Amino acid sequence: MASPPPGAGAGAGEPHEVAVNRLRLVGAPETNKVMAGELSRLVRRATDGIRLPQPRKLGTGQLLYPFDERVARVAATYHRTCSRVLWDLFETRAGRLEPLYDELVDAMAADDRGWRWDGATFSVVARNVDEFAAGPRQVVGAVKNAIVDAAATRAMSLKVDAEHPDIVFRVRMHDDAVSVSVDLAGRAMHVRGYRARGGAAPLRENLAATLLMLARYDARSEILVDPMAGSGTIAIEAALMARAAPAASDGRRLALERLPAFGRSEAEPEALFADTEPRIWASDVDQRTLAIARQNAIGAGVADDLRLRAKDAFDVTPDLVTRAFGADPKTPGLIVSNPPYGERIGGSADDIVALYDRMTRWLDAWRGWRAAFLVGHPEFESVLGRRARVRKPINNGPLRAHFLLYDLE
């Protein structure tokens, strides 16, 4: 576990107090609880029983933990509901460019944690810094200069490389504090690498994982059904989450393995629950879309876990699904779906409402199951005519949406 330098964690305002030592998970708004629950489960399985403290929450989509190298590696390797895994190194409340540079360069020059090395290349990306007295480009420039100049005091040469950097620094602002962090994965966590192509309105991978966590999908006992699977993201994420497989499916090495504080792992990461055998049905009425889903499932290495069928959603029945897996007809299950709501696909407003009306009658056949939906149409709930056990705002990219969980009785 890396140790913070002297003074870390004290109040801001003096150069030697600018250094911090935190693990930051960044996700979509309203996902703090889901991200924390997933990380706790993964860490318990992957380590010798580390118990995580309660994280500090920044808004509804960021979590802060005391930095621990083992926990950070688990998060960057396996966490599926977040979008970034960051190592917070510095934080300052400087409100102008000059003191921002001065505080960072002094703190970086004095810092001997293993986040840099001679000859490393880097890039700096700033987000959510609109409240700073200068523009994002000026903030990025000040941070870049501090990194280069601080390295020079330690006889190191670091160079900017925007295209293929060894280290990606991310600058964020919250409550007037500017934080400088290293991106431990080196990429957006939702970019898994298996999705060669998307459908007409592809769901982000980390959002699909969030839906599954909110629905409390249990691959050990439940059959999962997505009757409007599109390019297969929900089904594929369900198969990967069931085994707690590494988040990246394309074999890419994590950026943290280039950092001296971590070092390269010789062994390829393995699934944490490798013996789980998920039962997942995914169907779509469009043959071409289903072909994309099959290609994506092959890329993710889970094609054998899925029953991919070209079928109208309303022709899918509990009997058909349980027979496909040779399961007892009374086997409990979970429906998870992102039905169309007219923003990008689905037809006219009347077509959408008619679809929801058919869904109401279709759900009557699934008594004893649960059903979870991500919907953004204002009439979905009234047409469905059921009371959701869980109702939670979860935006689908720029679209306002809600997660709804029903007990089908």
Where on the phi/psi map is residue 299: left (φ > 0), alpha (ψ -120 to 50), or beta? Answer: alpha
Where on the phi/psi map is residue 155: left (φ > 0), alpha (ψ -120 to 50), or beta? Answer: left
Give the pLDDT score at 199. Answer: 56
Say what angle helices 205-214 and 32-46 make with each other, to 10 degrees: 90
Query: From residue 220, how far is each of 28, 243, 335 by CA, in Å?
Result: 28, 10, 15
Q: Are 212 and 336 in contact (CB under 8 A)?
A: yes
Q: CA angle, corner 210, sides to 204 and 211, nearest 5?
A: 95
Give the pLDDT score at 268. Answer: 87
Give the pLDDT score at 348. Answer: 66
Give the pLDDT score at 345. Answer: 44
Residue of 379, 374, 382 lying closest to 399 (CA atoms): 374
- Report d(CA 205, CA 154) in Å as an integer: 41
Phi/psi at 236 (nearest 5 deg)?
-65, -45
Q: Are 12 and 191 in contact (CB under 8 A)?
A: no
Give 184's DSSP letter.
S
Q: Are 243 and 220 in contact (CB under 8 A)?
A: no
- Report d(CA 174, CA 198) in Å as an integer: 34
Q: State the residue for tokens 């004290």.
A: 10
| Cα four-point dihedral sign 93, 96, 98, 101 | positive
Where on the phi/psi map is residue 119: left (φ > 0), alpha (ψ -120 to 50), or beta? Answer: left
Two structure tokens written together for 255? 């950026």
The whole-model pTM stands at 0.91
Q: Are 89 and 9 in contact (CB under 8 A)?
A: no
**Running along the chain, 409 residues long, what does each successive block of 10 average in pLDDT?**
39 64 96 97 92 95 97 97 98 95 98 97 95 94 98 98 96 94 96 77 90 97 96 97 93 92 87 96 95 95 96 97 95 94 58 92 96 94 95 88 95
Two structure tokens written together for 30? 């309203």
In three-state secondary structure terms, 239 is helix
- 34-48 per-residue burial string, b: 16 or more CB within 10 A, e: under 16: bbbebbeebbeebee
| Cα four-point dihedral sign 66, 157, 162, 147 | positive
Domains defined along the chain, listed by start? 15-183 (3.30.2130.30), 205-247+269-407 (3.40.50.150)
